[in-house]
Structure 1
Amino acid sequence: DYRADLRGAFDFLLMEVSQPFLIELAQEHGWRGGAVDLACHAGDTDLILLRLVSVVEPLLQKSSEASPLFLDQLGTTIGIHLIERYNRATNLESASQGAALSRPQLALAVEMLSSNTAGNVRVADVAQACGLSRGYFIRGFKKATGKAPHQWILSQRVEQARGLLMKTGMSLADIALICGFADQSHFTRVFSASTGLPPGAWRRATGNAGSPARFSECEK
């Protein structure tokens, strides 16, 4: 139960996180001993949680951009933060971060993720195929590749898009669809964040003018 005494207009987002989920996270991420019992810090401002939750709001507005893989990792990140900051138990011990995935495990994970670049795959499914818990898999995958699974998929999409921008005259909308982005706007945001240039500008910078008749008018 909770209570808030507020005056004037306000917005709020209510998120419910189950106790079994938090306990599972604690076990998966190497915390041994103690229970997960979160304390309420009334009046505190948690800027980290605010930023994490702020990511959720746009996804509610445009759910087509939210891949199951991304939502899975976002929920995990929020849960870990809650445990680290608000858990009353003082005897949780952090275990070692674990090793990178073995070559066979990494090959299997890459194969599964590569065949689902649209993000329609859950971390838990890939982890299970590798014979690992979700938390151990995420840590092992990041240690082996330098990227979390969702970040790795985005990098693969961008790399595929770079090839199409350089070698074809396809429109940005078509490239976005082929590479697994929700739409051209989503493609432009991710590509710009990765390369520092919007797709159209990057294409021109590489010297590929393409076939102007095939480009959409809104390409930049």
Structure 2
Amino acid sequence: MLNDANIFTTAASRQKDSLGCVSNQLHKDLELHTGEFTFYRKCRREQNTSEVATPPSDRGFLIGVSLAAGHRRRIMSGNRSTLHDFEKDSVYVRNFEDDYRADLHGAFDFVLVELSHAFVTNTCYERGGSAITGFSSLLGKKDPIFGHLAQVLALTLDSRSEASPLFVEQLGVALGTHLIDRYGKVASESDKKSRRLSSLQETRAKDMLLARTQGSISLEEIASACNLSRSYFIRAFRETTDRTPHQWLVERRIDRARDLLKHSDAPLSEIAIACGFADQSHFTRTFSQLVGAPPGTWRRETRK
């Protein structure tokens, strides 16, 4: 559910946005953040060429739907590249676990929705389906259902302050559910086993992740210590633990916070810092989402 902290932002002042686009070249650059979704409107009128690039991460998946024809992009993968033309209602999906590089040619107008791994996992579970590992290639494929939903979402995002938070979130659910139902790929058991970390790699990765409480290590360093690429490590960690590295680390921090809340009288601000949270507000918000009650309330109830 959206709350007062979920606001629209205009990113014109940034050189590169979170999707790798050059912000000052965009005619429209809107973002709306929620717990499980981030919505974007990216529009460029000029017929120029630019490059986008994002390194592997565990952010989840991105659906992009073209609102107009005339855009072309070249996708690079290793030493190979493929060229794709986008018409109205053309779609693409990015897995943030992959290293993404592309050249964008000409004007474009896209609505994009970023889905968290938690949304994908929970939706599969709630609908009684098998877990999925990714999605079928949709580069340039036209999908009228995505097209209609994107048109409504574009109008809603453009209205900004008039946008109904609940309605926007429901559009995200509709887009994500259609993606999962229509294009989700179910991994075979042999595929799942082949991508798991070994016991040694799992132990090493978890120990190094816990060291990130002080912000002293990166996913790149952990992957290297496991003799894996960053993108492969992220996939293998998720197959092994059913969590992304970030999700696993947050849960461990909450476990430590519970222990401190139960067995110490330290103020919440000190516990937040000791457990690796940016501040007390961040700690309270995350604790409430995972545990179901604010830390102060949980402490009082536990000590009764």
Indicate the residue corresponding to 1:110 in structure 2: 206
> Which of 234, 249, 262 is the equivalent residue of 1:138?
234
> Which of 243, 251, 258 is the equivalent residue of 1:147?
243
Q: Find the aligned partners of 1:192 and 1:34 in 2 and give their Cα distance.
A: 46
How far apart are 1:133 and its partner, in Å?
1.3
Q: Percent identity?
A: 36
How far apart are 1:119 and its partner, in Å?
4.7
Query: Which residue type is aligned with residue 287 of structure 2?
Result: F
Q: Find the aligned partners of 1:99 and 1:186 in 2 and give their Cα distance.
A: 33
Deviation per residue, 1:84-124 (Å, 9 max, x gap): 44367xxxxx9945331001111111111111124543222
How far apart are 1:146 and its partner, in Å?
1.7
RCO comparison, higher one (Cα < 8 Å, 6+) = 1
Q: Find the aligned partners of 1:5 and 1:190 in 2 and give their Cα distance.
A: 33
Q: Find the aligned partners of 2:30 and 2:203 in 1 and give their Cα distance.
A: 43
Q: Which has the higher strand share?
A: 2
Instruction: For structure 2, list consecutive stretches of 5 or more residues without a partner in the other structure.
Output: 1-20, 32-41, 43-49, 57-74, 95-110, 116-133, 142-185
Query: Which residue type is aligned with residue 114 of structure 1?
Result: L
How far apart are 1:151 and its partner, in Å?
0.6
Indicate the residue corresponding to 1:194 in structure 2: 290
Indicate the residue corresponding to 1:12 in structure 2: 30
Q: Contact (CA 8 Å) 1:118, 1:180: kept in 2 or not?
A: yes
1:23–1:123: structure 2 CA closer, same or farther, 3 Å change rule? farther
How far apart are 1:18 and its partner, in Å?
2.6
Q: Find the aligned partners of 2:290 and 2:235 in 1 and give their Cα distance.
A: 22
How far apart are 1:150 and its partner, in Å?
0.6
TM-score normalised to structure 1 length: 0.59
Q: Which has the higher helix share?
A: 1
Q: Find the aligned partners of 1:18 and 1:116 in 2 and give their Cα distance.
A: 25
Instruction: For structure 1, list consecutive stretches of 5 or more residues without a partner in the other structure.
Output: 28-32, 54-79, 89-93, 209-220
Query: Which residue type is aligned with residue 254 of structure 2?
Result: V
Q: Find the aligned partners of 1:144 and 1:20 in 2 and give their Cα distance.
A: 22
How far apart are 1:36 and its partner, in Å?
4.5
Deviation per residue, 1:25-51 (Å, 9 max, x gap): xx7xxxxx9745454454679999744
How far apart are 1:203 and its partner, in Å?
0.7
Moved more, 143-152 or 154-163: 143-152
Q: Contact (CA 8 Å) 2:92, 2:138: kept in 1 or not?
A: no
Aligned residues: 165
CA RMSD of aligned residues (A): 4.2
Moved more, 165-174 or 122-131: 122-131
Q: Find the aligned partners of 2:212 and 2:247 in 1 and give their Cα distance.
A: 13
How far apart are 1:173 and its partner, in Å?
0.6
TM-score normalised to structure 2 length: 0.44
Query: Which residue type is aligned with residue 86 of structure 1?
Result: L
Indicate the residue corresponding to 1:52 in structure 2: 114
Q: Find the aligned partners of 2:81 and 2:55 in 1 and give their Cα distance.
A: 11
Indicate the residue corresponding to 1:214 in structure 2: none
Deviation per residue, 1:174-199 (Å, 9 max, x gap): 10011110000100111111101111
SS at match of 1:138: helix
1:86 lines up with 2:139 in the alignment: yes
